[in-house]
Amino acid sequence: MTLIALHIYWVKMDVANLLKRIEKNWESRFSKEIKDRNREWKTVSDSHIEFRVLFDPGREKIYRNLNSERKECPFDKIIPMKKDTIKGDLLFYGQNIYPYFDHQFMAFPIQHRCLPTKDDLNELIELTKIAKNYTIMMNMEGAGANIPEHIHYQCIRETLPIDKLSGKKIKGNNHFYIEEINYTIYALRLKWNNKNGQNKCQELVLNYNKPINLYIYNDRMYMIPRTANYPQSSPNTKIGCAEVGGLFLITSREIYDKCNFNYLENMLKEVTICKPK
């Protein structure tokens, strides 16, 4: 066996190990707490888009605590010191201790930097080849990030509604293609057939260099440009990555009750580049 094969074998073992630990941790630490938060789900749709909405009244308290507690970047010293954190090739992986979706964990570089790199994306794409039912999400500064000065990736065991939508091909060759999604806001799917295509898609995402939300899967990424606005219609709801992908987390009962399709669509339009009618 060559050194490279050994290395890949090691990485695969480690990711499988990480996922096993996440599952175990989830059951022992969070499943009861989450149950006690009395969350509720609903689905609202128009003729072809289906938004999913999670109401989590316990989450609001956590937001408040997070904002009042934070004095320094938690990704620099605090989280990497925790014994549950696992080091990958480049990124660190650890449980999200304030999970908003089930089985959630995070990936982040040890360097304090605000932009993603090609190596980050390579490692995360490798991760999704093993963690097949996960969506990896990223908010850039101005795109809903809570800690924008240190890039980090949220990994959730959910499929986002946007991933089920069809698209219209706007560019491509044998290696990759880009589609504009048939969605309520402007969103691109970048899909590759081989390593050349993957490189091209990564370059396109990294060169854009303006606020975006990004979703990473093993053979595709989604990119949604943001306007760096916060929604007027919902001061209690921060619109981050999951939301622009069609999966909403709502902490206020009043807003949850108002969440019909048009209400949510308007929220998305306020924070993204929406399509002209």
List of residues contacting Zn ion (CB under 5 A): 73, 75-76, 112, 150
CA distance 132 to 83: 25
Whose structure tokens read 């650890």?
94
Closest CA to 246 of 61, 102, 54, 63: 54
Q: How far is the CB of 150 from Zn ion (least distance, A)?
A: 3
Closer residue to Zn ion (CB): 152 or 189: 152
Closer residue to Zn ion (CB): 143 or 162: 143
Q: How far is the CB of 70 from Zn ion (least distance, A)?
A: 11
Identify the helix (H) or strand (E) that includes residue 266.
helix 261-271
Residue 79 makes CB contacts below 8 A (sequence gap 6+) with 85, 92, 94, 106, 108
Closer residue to Zn ion (CB): 12 or 150: 150
CA distance 253 to 236: 10
Q: How far is the CB of 111 from Zn ion (least distance, A)?
A: 8
Q: How far is the CB of 75 from Zn ion (least distance, A)?
A: 4
Closest CA to 99 of 224, 242, 237: 242
CA distance 54 to 247: 8
Closer residue to Zn ion (CB): 70 or 164: 70
Closer residue to Zn ion (CB): 150 or 175: 150
Q: How far is the CB of 189 from Zn ion (least distance, A)?
A: 31
Tokens in use for 90? 């480049």
Closer residue to Zn ion (CB): 92 or 177: 92
Q: How far is the CB of 103 from Zn ion (least distance, A)?
A: 25
CA 108 from chain centre, in angstroms, equals 12
